[in-house]
Structure 1
Amino acid sequence: MLTQRQLIDQLLEALRALPSARVQFRIKPRWDSATAPHWQYDLRLDLGLGGRAVTMLVEAMRSLYPRDVRQKLWQIRAASQTWSDAPGEQQTVPLLLAESISSGARELLESERVGYYDSGGSLHVPAEDMFVHIDRPPSKPVSKSHRSRFSGRRAQVLHALLIHHGEWLSVKSVAERAHVSPATASQVLAELERHEWADTRGMGPRKTRSLVQPAALLDAWVRQRDLLRAPPTERFYVPGADAAELAQRLSHLFEARGADYALTHAAAAQHYAPFLSSISRVHCRLLTGPAATLALDELGARSVDEGANLVVIPAKSSGEFLFRQRLGGLWLASPIQVYLDLVHSGGRAPELAEHMRRERIGF
Structure 2
Amino acid sequence: MFAEQKNTALMTGSTFVAHALIDQLLASLRELPDVHVELAQAEPAAQAVGRADATIELQVAGKSIALLVEAKKSVYPRDVRQALWQLKSPQHDHYTNGQRLLIAESISPGAKELLRAERIGYFDSGGSLFLPAAGAYVYIDKPAPKALEKSVRSLFSGRRTQVLHALLVNHEQWFGVTDVAERAQVAPSTASDVLHELERFDWLTSRGQGPSKERHLREPGALLDAWAQQLATQRAPLLRRYFVPGLKSDALIERLGQLFATHEITYAVSQEAAAQRYAPFLSSISQTRVRLLPSPRADAAMAELGARVVNEGANFAIIETKSTGELLFRRQVGGIWLASPIQVYLDLLHGEGRARESAEHLRKERIGF
TM-score above 0.5, yes or no: yes
1:192 deviates by: 1.9
| Matched letter for residue 22 of structure 1 | H
Instruction: Determine the structure 2 residue equivalent to 1:57.
Output: 68
| Matched letter for residue 161 of structure 1 | L
Determine whether 1:72 maps to 2:83: yes
Instruction: Determine the structure 1 residue equivalent to 2:94.
Output: 82
TM, length-normalised to structure 2: 0.88
**1: distance between equivalents of 2:45 and 2:229?**
43
| Matched letter for residue 71 of structure 2 | A
Contact 2:238 2:319 in 1 (8 A): yes
**1: distance between equivalents of 2:311 and 2:58?**
58
Q: How do residues 88-167 of structure 1 correspond to structure 2 at under 5 angstroms?
A: 92-167=98-173
Structure 1 stretch displaced more, 217-226 or 16-25: 16-25
Q: How do residues 23-62 of structure 1 correspond to structure 2 at under 5 angstroms?
A: 23-28=37-42, 39-62=50-73
1:108 deviates by: 0.9
Structure 1 stretch displaced more, 20-29 or 95-104: 20-29
Name the SS of the counterpart of 1:26 in structure 2.
Answer: strand
Contact 2:287 2:317 in 1 (8 A): yes
Determine whether 1:298 maps to 2:304: yes
Determine whether 1:9 maps to 2:23: yes
Residues 229, 132 of structure 1: CA spacing in aligned structure 2 closer, same or farther, 3 A cutoff?
A: farther
- Give CA deviations for 1:256-284 in whole Å, capped at 9, x if unaligned: 33433211111100111111121111111
1:234 deviates by: 2.4
1:339 deviates by: 0.9
Instruction: Determine the structure 2 residue equivalent to 1:89.
Output: none
| Matched letter for residue 205 of structure 2 | D
**2: distance between equivalents of 1:99 and 1:297?**
55
**2: distance between equivalents of 1:15 and 1:234?**
53
**2: distance between equivalents of 1:297 and 1:60?**
63
Residues 46, 292 of structure 1: CA spacing in aligned structure 2 closer, same or farther, 3 A cutoff?
A: farther
What 5-or-longer segments of structure 1 have no aligned partner?
87-91
1:95 deviates by: 1.4
Name the SS of the counterpart of 1:165 in structure 2.
Answer: coil
Residues 258, 13 of structure 1: CA spacing in aligned structure 2 closer, same or farther, 3 A cutoff?
A: farther
**2: distance between equivalents of 1:279 and 1:263?**
13
Contact 2:18 2:44 in 1 (8 A): no
| Matched letter for residue 55 of structure 1 | A
Contact 2:57 2:66 in 1 (8 A): yes
What 5-or-longer segments of structure 2 have no aligned partner?
1-8, 10-15
Contact 1:7 1:97 in 2 (8 A): yes
Q: How do residues 210-249 of structure 1 correspond to structure 2 at under 5 angstroms?
A: 210-249=216-255
Contact 2:128 2:141 in 1 (8 A): yes
Determine whether 1:257 maps to 2:268: no
**2: distance between equivalents of 1:324 and 1:310?**
19
**2: distance between equivalents of 1:204 and 1:263?**
40
Name the SS of the counterpart of 2:285 in structure 1.
Answer: coil
1:288 deviates by: 1.9
Name the SS of the counterpart of 1:142 in structure 2.
Answer: helix
**1: distance between equivalents of 2:68 and 2:292?**
54
Contact 1:76 1:94 in 2 (8 A): no
- Give CA deviations for 1:2-27 in whole Å, capped at 9, x if unaligned: 93333333333333333454332222
**2: distance between equivalents of 1:141 and 1:231?**
25
TM, length-normalised to structure 1: 0.89
Contact 2:43 2:54 in 1 (8 A): no
Name the SS of the counterpart of 2:175 in structure 1.
Answer: coil
Q: How many residues align?
A: 354
- Give CA deviations for 1:126-176 in whole Å, capped at 9, x if unaligned: 112111112222223321221111122211111111111121111111111
